[in-house]
A and B are shown apart, each in its own frame.
Chain A
Amino acid sequence: MTMLHSATEPLRLLTVPPPTAALKQHLNRGQARVADDDNTGFIAQMQAIADRQDEAAFAALFAHFAPRIKGFLMKSGATAAQAEDCAQDVMATVWRKAAMFDPTRANVSTWIFTIARNRRIDLLRRDRRPEPEDLPWGPEPERDQVDAMVLQQETDRLGQAMAALPQEQRDLVEQAYFGDLSHSEIANITGLPLGTIKSRIRLAINKLRQAMT
């Protein structure tokens, strides 16, 4: 199986021309536009880093995400100093792994969250965190722009649905992700509308598998 792209070829994560009117209409189904624009911006920044090691793009991502990573780690029990050190490490990983980001399977926040979560275990526990085997990889398949846009929109909707949950459920979800709930307490969490997002991700995984055969 061929390895990664060569250093001389630019890597195409996905092409992101300005949204057409039709695409804007598709995206703007009465939802706040800000989140969509942010996400599109973050994806473009990720691509700039992957393609040409764009430091200005990285600085923009850093400005938005590093303080949230730090806040997340502190809520998870890290000290401010540990959290800052770890947040820098996570952002450095974001840079180094930028070519692996797949906008048809996750938005940038989700992807960065998974890196922070994996790093958190080194920080706060001594255990390792076994990860699932990578999907087969090779020359990166051309990723469908609409697939990515739809996934981004579904993720935004999930965020809005979470904000609209009854306070008690919202608190439980936060506690779970900050590390304060046991497995049996997590069983009490209900009401997260994950059906559509799960289907989109499933499709994206299928496409990757097909592209590899």
Chain B
Amino acid sequence: MIRHHLNDTLLMAYSAGQLPEAHNLAVATHISLCDDCRARLESFDAVGGAVMEQTDAVALSEQSLAATMARIRSAPPVQHAPIAKRGIFPTPLQDYVGGDLDAVRWRAIGGGVKQAILPTAKGASARLLRIPGGMAVPDHSHGGLELTLVLQGAFSDEDGRFARGDIEIADQDVTHTPMAEPGDDCICLAVTDAPLRFNSLIPRLLQPFLKI
């Protein structure tokens, strides 16, 4: 059962199209797992619908309807998007990974932790982290808005316990020390809009080489 959800600000920002790509990915992946947040998102979409409805209309050219019919005739009907095979990663995440968990190409970053950086636009970053059960992610502090979505296993930190589907929202001034629960590796999607800084010495030295 998901206990840690997206907040209204993130949902409205996603609805309004104001988040970086990396954050969009985390939001879309969480919503794929959480019907509560999906309903909340769709209520924010209703706000967008009202904004558009109340916007001053701007006339189109006279040929625009005919031009639109021409576009319609030249394209096939749209089918439902295929849902990726039931696995660990919801469809939007599989789109970025190129498959499910077994398709991920992990790289060690020290302390038993592995990561895989996902191809999102500059300005924010999305990576998968794999933390062995019982291990701690080294201390790190934030420069911006960080989202951590659990896909497998669980971690606990000062804000509580986070298991599959839970998303942790942390912004500036928060230093947290997530500890992965013993058992399955803890696999998370971690998104940040600032370079991730690690406080421990070794990870800091590795930072420029690992693009953290």
A194 and B47 in contact, given A71-B58, A186-B13 (Cβ under 8 angstroms): yes
B82 vs chain A, min Cβ distance (A): 9
Chain A 135-156 interface residues, beta-carbon cutoff 8 Å to B: 136-137, 155
Give B82's nearest chain A residue, CB to CB: A134
A134 and B48 in contact, given A83-B58, A120-B17 (Cβ under 8 angstroms): no
Residue B79 lies at the interface, judged by CB distance under 8 Å to chain A: yes
Additional 14 contacts, C-beta under 8 A, given A84-B61, A93-B78:
A66-B65, A87-B60, A110-B48, A110-B50, A114-B48, A127-B120, A127-B121, A130-B24, A130-B29, A132-B92, A176-B16, A179-B16, A179-B17, A183-B145
Residue B139 lies at the interface, judged by CB distance under 8 Å to chain A: no
Residue A54 lies at the interface, judged by CB distance under 8 Å to chain B: no
> Which A residues contact B (CB, under 8 angstroms)?
3-4, 55, 58-59, 62, 66-72, 74-75, 80, 83-84, 87-89, 91-93, 95-97, 99-100, 105-107, 109-114, 116-118, 120-121, 125-134, 136-137, 155, 158-159, 162-163, 173-174, 176-179, 181-183, 186-187, 189, 192, 194, 197-199, 201-202, 205-206, 209
Q: Which residues of A contact B95 (CB under 8 A)?
A: 130
Q: Is the CB of A133 within 8 A of B92?
A: yes
> Which B residues contact A (CB, under 8 angstroms)?
9-10, 12-13, 15-21, 24-25, 27-29, 31-32, 35-36, 38-61, 64-65, 67-69, 71-72, 75-81, 83-84, 90-92, 95-96, 120-121, 145
Q: Is the CB of B80 within 8 A of A155?
A: no
Q: Is the CB of A111 within 8 A of B49?
A: yes
Q: Is the CB of B52 within 8 A of A132?
A: no
Q: Is the CB of A202 within 8 A of B35?
A: yes
Q: Is the CB of A96 within 8 A of B53?
A: no
Most buried by A among B28, B48, B120: B48
Q: Which residues of B contact A189 (CB under 8 A)?
A: 12
A62 to B64, CA, bound (A): 9
A183 and B47 in contact, given A67-B57, A113-B52 (Cβ under 8 angstroms): no
A4 to B39, CA, bound (A): 24
User: Which residue of the partner chain, among B12, B18, B60, B72, contacts A95 with CB atoms under 8 Å?
Assistant: B72
Q: Which residues of B contact A109 (CB under 8 A)?
A: 49-50, 52-53
Q: Is the CB of A130 within 8 A of B48?
A: no
A155 to B41, CA, bound (A): 14
A183 and B18 in contact, given A126-B121, A202-B39 (Cβ under 8 angstroms): yes
A157 vs chain B, min Cβ distance (A): 10
Give A83's nearest chain B residue, CB to CB: B58
Q: Which residues of A contact B49 (CB under 8 A)?
A: 106-107, 109-114, 155
B86 vs chain A, min Cβ distance (A): 10
Q: Is the CB of B52 within 8 A of A72?
A: yes
A80 and B58 in contact, given A106-B49, A109-B50, A194-B47 (Cβ under 8 angstroms): yes
Q: Which residues of B contact A75 (CB under 8 A)?
A: 55
Most buried by B among A3, A93, A129, A186: A186
Q: Is the CB of B42 within 8 A of A183?
A: no
Q: Is the CB of A186 within 8 A of B78?
A: no
